[in-house]
Amino acid sequence: MITIVVLNCSTSWCQSRVSKGGVEPDTIPSTGVLEQTDTVVAIPISFIKIANSKMVELKYEKEINSNLIEVVKNDSLVISGLEYELNNCLENKEVEVKRIRKQRNIFIATTIGAALVSLLVLLK
């Protein structure tokens, strides 16, 4: 940041000349070539209208783009929230499935054990 400020001051200082008469000094452009600024150019009004309409169009395009960026940010927040909820739901269902499988296995083992005990009782 400081380098930019120093470079800017150095460029401004190099381009200016102090005149002794108090008249505003000529400035030397960065290309080193003096340019005359008293040239008159005629620009048709139709070109100015076209340029103005393009500038207005660009302004609205920038507004639309900023609105679209905001919509995309909001949508991404909603999507990430839904993904988080979906992952939590899936994890809860996996835990529930494991619990139910464990209960089923315990029930099957108990049933087989009871059947074996009753078979042994009947055989004696």
Which DSSP symbol is given to 26? Answer: P
What is the percentage of the chain residues whose pLDDT exceeds 70?
Answer: 70
- Using 50, 70 and 90 to split pLDDT, how confident is the model at 23? very low
Residue type, 37: T
pLDDT at 90 over 90: yes
Helix, strand or coil, per DSSP, at residue 60: helix
- Using 50, 70 and 90 to split pLDDT, how confident is the model at 40? confident
pTM for the structure as a whole = 0.46
Does 28 or 18 have the greater pLDDT score? 28
Name, in order, each residue with C-beta under 8 angstroms of 25's C-beta and a sequence gap of 6 or more. 16, 17, 18, 19
